[in-house]
Amino acid sequence: MAAPVRTQLDISRLLTEAGTVLSNRLAAALAEVDLTPRAQCVLIHALEEERTQIQLAALAGLDKTTMVGTVDDLERRGLAERRPSATDRRARIIAVTEPGRAAAEEGQRIVDRVHEEVLADVEPARREVFLDLLIGLASAEPVPGPKAIRRPRGR
């Protein structure tokens, strides 16, 4: 029995593989300063404004259990701490410490460098089109289905 004829390139596989390559590259580069991409993401979003653990989890695309472990690790290392919110006494926010700020700044330089390296061989006009297409794909409304493979990142 013959397989069905493909009429389109398997972009799902290509995007997944490209994402894996980039994720591995980022993880290796951030390991040089003892950060993970997940920790870097949480630190950056926590520095932007006062946010709860739940808000940070949504922005970082993390489930509750993974987020708790990430914040526990950041606290253990002195990079962040859980504090009462200044605006809502019932809520606790994730506050980045000064060592955490320094780590996040160094981590962001690394992330920016890796992204630049990945796109270095793409001419500027094509790079802009490529990035616009990626933004469009990532911003598309999820289609309801039987069960999502992964929940979409918070926007």
CATH number at residue 90: 1.10.10.10
Residue 12 is assigned to a structural domain of this protein: no
Q: CA-CA-CA-CA torsion for 83, 94, 66, 90, nearest 10 degrees? A: 50
- Domain assignment present for residue 62? The answer is yes
Long-range contacts of 101-105 (CB under 8 A, 24+ apart): 101/43, 101/47, 103/33, 103/34, 103/35, 103/43, 103/79, 104/40, 104/43, 104/44, 104/47
69 domain-assigned: yes
Total domains, the chain: 1
Residue 121, in any domain of the structure: yes
Across the chain, mean pLDDT equals 91
Q: Is residue 17 part of a domain?
A: no
Where in the sequence is the domain holding 128, given as residue range(s)?
A: 23-139
What does the pLDDT look like over 5-58, one tens digit per residue? 989 999 999 999 999 999 999 999 999 999 999 999 999 999 999 999 999 999
Q: Judge whether 18 lies within some domain.
A: no
Taking residues 119-141, what's their average pLDDT? 93
